[in-house]
């Protein structure tokens, strides 16, 4: 029996920090895999990732380490609601309990499949060939079933996987949230589509040189608070953000010379993730108080900077003159009103990452329902493309032209990220509620944006959300910051006000 003491706590923390060093090495390999790695290297990279994943898992499940964490959790240092020591012990105990339920062989196979699955997905998407990805999709969901059974769950198999991204959340609760949003938005979207006011979106398909898109996107991200001295921007197939160390946050995007929205709003989205990562206490990196509490809270930051800031009129009152100078052929003679309306066009679309605010959650609902069906075995993998198309016809009234624009558009399933998608919708809800509170407390955000003042919001988020790490659960954090439970009301109020004005409804 160990003696629960500050010395033991320090010993456990040192072990965790060393494990985090290995995790950061794995993150470097993953970033390289998705940005720079030659396709032919996938097999060897899978071997590297498998080895590292096994080593990291072994450290987290080492019997002596687990015993020390259990001793701390049963001792006086774990007492107290908000103390750093108590929170750290409780979070580590929860994590250790989950990891010890997973056999090392399964952890290694999941890691290997994620690398090879992503490689297969990239080729399948490029060639519009679902058959090439199908065996990897089947293997991924079989491994995820094994993972869920090993972890255990309260109500449904999906609960075990959702918990990895949104701790303590339940599938049934998320289902109710998404269904409620769908019902609330159906009438709004119908009224928008029936309006005689419609934007000219062709202006977004003019020529936007890629090098200028990159420099303009970086300028906007920096203005919002992303620190390029502690991060960088690169190109990938499917945009993401990853943190390789306490002062090394990488964001990515993809460019289309004839579509402005893809790269620019992708950069704002990923820089929102990056701003959160850079706002976490660097001296707690790898420890619970230096890590994000949930993917839903993480997504609230990216969706806030992408939509509530980046698609606001006030944002463009400041940035549009610069955009006209950077893209004179495309925007030189286009009014701010026309541009603002175009970037806020609402219409059913095929690509989730380019969807408007009003229809976005329907994309998430489709994936959420399909993940559960694939996981439970109710939907055979071979039938997945047809099921995807049917759901797009049912929820959005459109059908993908090809699988590359359909079931192959997202990297998540290739990367083994099953249970991730619902956090996007939770992020939309969190974002609207946080933003409404910040607007009230900071005395009018849009007036600040119009003057080019974005750091007050960044600093507010850092003080209210980022600096706490995992001190509070997502639900506790929302209540602490906004004074009320999570509600769909702020998001719906934002959407109705914004699109009511644009479309005259």
Q: What is the CATH number of the domain that holds 488?
A: 1.10.1370.30
pLDDT tens for each residue of 248-268: 999 999 999 999 999 999 999
Query: Are residues 239 and 379 located together in one domain of the fold?
Result: yes
pLDDT band with cut points at 50, 70 and 90 for residue 3: low
* Residue 159 included in any domain: no
How many domains are contained in the chain?
Answer: 2
Sequence-distant (6+) residues with CB within 8 A of 363 are 352, 355, 396
* Residue 136 included in any domain: no
Query: Are residues 57 and 194 located together in one domain of the fold?
Result: no
pLDDT tens for each residue of 7-45: 999 999 999 999 999 999 999 999 999 999 999 999 999
* Residue 413 included in any domain: yes
Structure token digits, residue 109: 């196979």
- Mean per-residue pLDDT for 486-498? 95
Nearest to 362 by CA among 374, 347, 376, 380: 347
Nearest to 100 by CA among 133, 40, 153, 58: 58
Last residue of a domain, one of 109, 128, 147: 128
Query: Are residues 97 and 178 located together in one domain of the fold?
Result: no
Q: What is the H or E stretch that residue 235 is in? A: strand 231-235
Query: Are residues 182 and 287 located together in one domain of the fold?
Result: yes
pLDDT of residue 120 exceeding 70: yes
pLDDT band with cut points at 50, 70 and 90 for residue 80: confident
Domain span holding position 32: 6-128
> Exactly one of 270, 277, 291, 371 is catalytic; which is it?
270
Query: Are residues 444 and 392 located together in one domain of the fold?
Result: yes
* Residue 140 included in any domain: no
**Cα gap 339→363, rounded to integer Å:** 25
Residue 270 known to be catalytic: yes
**Cα gap 261→266, rounded to integer Å:** 8
- Mean per-residue pLDDT for 93-103? 98
**Cα gap 476→490, rounded to integer Å:** 18
pLDDT of residue 128 exceeding 70: yes
pLDDT band with cut points at 50, 70 and 90 for residue 320: very high
Instruction: Work out the percent of the chain whose per-residue pLDDT is above 90.
Output: 94
* CB-based contact 111:50 (threshold 8 Å): yes
Q: Angle at CA 377, nearest 5°, toward 373 and 380?
A: 85
- Mean per-residue pLDDT for 38-57? 96
**Which residue, chain included where needed, has tokens 């959702």?**
162
pLDDT of res. 4 = 65
Query: Are residues 53 and 201 located together in one domain of the fold?
Result: no
Q: Report the helix count and the strand count for the chain, using DSSP H and E.
A: 21, 3
pLDDT of residue 1 exceeding 60: no
Identify the DSSP state of 306: I
**Cα gap 285→23, rounded to integer Å:** 11
Query: Are residues 66 and 210 located together in one domain of the fold?
Result: no
Query: Are residues 359 and 437 located together in one domain of the fold?
Result: yes
DSSP string of 42-95?
A: HHHHHHHHHHHHHHHHHHHH-HHHHHHHHHHHTSGGG-SSS-HHHHHHHHHHHH
pLDDT of res. 82 = 78
pLDDT band with cut points at 50, 70 and 90 for residue 420: very high
Q: Three-class SS of residue 471? A: coil
Structure token digits, residue 502: 């644009």
pLDDT tens for each residue of 428-451: 999 999 999 999 999 999 999 999
pLDDT band with cut points at 50, 70 and 90 for residue 164: very high
Query: Are residues 110 and 198 located together in one domain of the fold?
Result: no
Query: Are residues 357 and 483 located together in one domain of the fold?
Result: yes
**Cα gap 377→371, rounded to integer Å:** 10
pLDDT tens for each residue of 196-211: 999 999 999 999 999 9
* CB-based contact 385:403 (threshold 8 Å): yes
* Residue 147 included in any domain: no
Q: Three-class SS of residue 231? A: strand
* Residue 145 included in any domain: no
Query: Are residues 114 and 207 located together in one domain of the fold?
Result: no
pLDDT tens for each residue of 336-394: 999 999 999 999 999 998 899 999 999 999 999 999 999 999 999 999 999 999 999 99
* Helix ranges restricted to H, 233-359: 260-279, 295-303, 313-326, 328-331, 336-343
**Which residue, chain included where needed, has tokens 């992303």?**
226
Query: Are residues 278 and 349 located together in one domain of the fold?
Result: yes
Rg (CA), the chain: 23
pLDDT of res. 150 = 98
* Residue 404 included in any domain: yes
pLDDT of residue 270 exceeding 90: yes
Nearest to 204 by CA among 148, 165, 138, 257: 257
**Cα gap 80→316, rounded to integer Å:** 47
Report the predicted TM-score, pTM, of the whole model to 2 decimal places: 0.94
């Amino acid at each position: 029996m160990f003696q629960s003491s500050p010395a033991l706590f320090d010993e456990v923390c040192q072990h965790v920090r060393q494990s985090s060093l290995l995790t950061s090495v794995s993150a470097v390999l993953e970033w390289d895999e998705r940005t720079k790695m030659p396709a032919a290297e996938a097999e060897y990279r899978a071997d590297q990732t498998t080895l590292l994943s096994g080593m990291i898992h072994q450290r987290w499940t080492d019997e002596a380490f687990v015993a020390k964490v259990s001793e701390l959790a049963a001792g006086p240092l774990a007492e107290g609601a908000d103390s750093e020591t108590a929170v750290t012990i409780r979070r580590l105990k929860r994590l250790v309990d989950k990891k010890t339920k997973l056999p090392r062989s399964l952890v290694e196979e999941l890691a290997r499949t994620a690398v090879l699955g992503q490689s297969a997905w990239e080729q399948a998407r490029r060639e519009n060939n679902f058959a090439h990805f199908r065996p990897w999709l089947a293997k991924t969901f079989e491994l995820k079933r094994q993972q869920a059974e090993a972890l255990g769950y309260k109500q449904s198999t999906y609960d075990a996987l959702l918990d990895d991204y949104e701790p303590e959340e339940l599938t049934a609760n998320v289902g109710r949230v998404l269904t409620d949003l769908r019902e609330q938005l159906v009438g709004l979207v119908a009224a928008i589509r029936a309006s005689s006011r419609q934007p000219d979106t062709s202006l977004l398909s003019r020529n936007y040189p890629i090098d200028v898109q990159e420099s303009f996107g970086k300028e906007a991200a920096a203005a919002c608070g992303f620190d390029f001295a502690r991060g960088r921007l690169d190109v990938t197939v499917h945009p993401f953000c990853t943190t390789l160390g306490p002062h090394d946050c990488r964001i990515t995007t993809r460019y289309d010379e004839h579509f402005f929205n893809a790269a620019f709003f992708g950069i704002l989205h990923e820089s929102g993730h990056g701003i959160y990562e850079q706002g976490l206490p660097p001296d707690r990196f790898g420890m619970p108080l230096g890590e994000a509490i949930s993917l839903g809270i993480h997504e609230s930051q990216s969706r806030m900077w992408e939509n509530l800031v980046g698609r606001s009129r006030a944002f463009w009152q400041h940035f549009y003159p610069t955009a006209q100078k950077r893209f004179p052929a495309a925007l030189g003679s286009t009014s701010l009103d026309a541009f603002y309306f175009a970037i806020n066009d609402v219409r059913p679309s095929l690509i989730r990452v380019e969807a408007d605010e009003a229809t976005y959650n329907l994309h998430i609902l489709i994936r959420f329902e399909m993940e559960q069906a694939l996981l439970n075995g109710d939907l055979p993998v071979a039938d997945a493309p047809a099921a995807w198309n049917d759901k797009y016809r049912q929820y959005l009234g459109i059908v993908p032209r090809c699988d590359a624009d359909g079931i192959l558009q997202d990297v998540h399933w290739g990367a083994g990220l099953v249970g991730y998608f619902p956090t996007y919708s939770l992020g939309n809800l969190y974002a609207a509620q946080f933003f409404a509170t910040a607007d009230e407390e900071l005395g009018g955000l849009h007036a600040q944006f119009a003057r080019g003042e974005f750091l007050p919001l960044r600093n507010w988020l850092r003080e209210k959300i980022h600096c706490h790490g995992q001190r509070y659960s997502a639900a506790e954090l929302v209540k602490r910051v906004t004074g009320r439970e999570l509600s769909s009301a702020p998001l719906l109020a934002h959407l109705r006000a914004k699109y009511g004005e644009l479309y005259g409804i």
